[in-house]
Structure 1
Amino acid sequence: MTIKELTSNNFDAMLDAHPLLVIDFCASWCQPCKAFEKIMLAAQPDYPEVIFARADIEKEKALAEEFSVRSVPFVMIIKNRTALYADSGVLALKDLREMLDKAKHVAV
């Protein structure tokens, strides 16, 4: 399993192709970001319909600005181009799973 790299160039295409995304806005120096990456990898096998992606805020400044990312990790769950969750900090695996289970049933 892998986490996809999200860029300004592929952002719209990824949103169009995948109705449910988890995005981790991160930085290479951010230790909590690395911890959340492991959590995403742990959840990934149970959610094959979900795309797990990361955007490096140092490389993707425009995306970070667009979503008002002020600190990392900044986690978003997006369904059909609608943000269902957006907040700073690491989500526990249990919390991420609960949110994804709910997101599957939200009509947007």
Structure 2
Amino acid sequence: MPTIELTKDNFEETVTSAGIVLVDFWAAWCGPCRMFAPVFEKAAESHPDIVFGKVDTEAQPELAAEFQISSIPTLMAIRDRTVLYAQPGALPAPALEELIGKIRAVDMEDVRRQLAARAGQG
């Protein structure tokens, strides 16, 4: 599946309707972003069950601000409406594949229990 461009208009719908969503926050002027782009595109082809979205931080400053993106590229992994990973830096292909495997392996019931327990403490 090809990557999709995420904007303030389709971001919420995209991340809440899909199981796993990987989001690449990038900008055209960013060298590391341009180096990571083909790695991200290839992973999108290899994992058609995952939504791969790209947020151009120059065109979508509201989204970049909402997620406090201060360094690009930043990769965010969302599963079942929960952010499981958000780190700046371009990952090499093997590291991205390893991350995808870890995201798939997460016990989301356990994550929900932990989040509920934290919310109860607040």
What TM-score do the two structures reach when normalised by structure 1? 0.92
Q: Does 1:56 align with 2:44?
A: no
Q: Give 3-state SS (helix, strand or coil) of 1:25's partner.
A: strand
Distance across 1 between alignment mates of 2:90 and 2:9: 26
Distance across 2 between alignment mates of 1:81 and 1:17: 8
One-letter amino acid of the structure 2 residue matched with residue 31 of structure 1? G
Paired residues in the alignment total 108
Q: How far apart are residue 23 of structure 1 and its match? A: 0.6
Q: How far apart are residue 105 of structure 1 and its match? A: 2.0
Moved over 6 A (4+): none
Q: Give 3-state SS (helix, strand or coil) of 2:49's partner.
A: coil
Q: Give 3-state SS (helix, strand or coil) of 1:39's partner.
A: helix
Q: Which has the higher contact order (CA 8 A, sep 6+)?
A: 1
Q: Give 3-state SS (helix, strand or coil) of 1:69's partner.
A: coil
- Structural mapping, 1:1-16, within 5 Å: 1-16=1-16
Distance across 2 between alignment mates of 1:92 and 1:100: 13
Q: How far apart are residue 39 of structure 1 and its match? A: 0.4
What TM-score do the two structures reach when normalised by structure 2? 0.83
- Percent identical among aligned pairs is 35
Structure 2: runs of 5+ lacking an equivalent: 109-122
CA RMSD of aligned residues (A): 1.2
Q: How far apart are residue 26 of structure 1 and its match? A: 0.6
Map of 2:27 onto structure 1: 27
Q: How far apart are residue 85 of structure 1 and its match? A: 1.0
Q: Is the 8 A contact 2:2 2:45 kept in 1?
A: no
Structure 1: runs of 5+ lacking an equivalent: none
Map of 2:119 onto structure 1: none
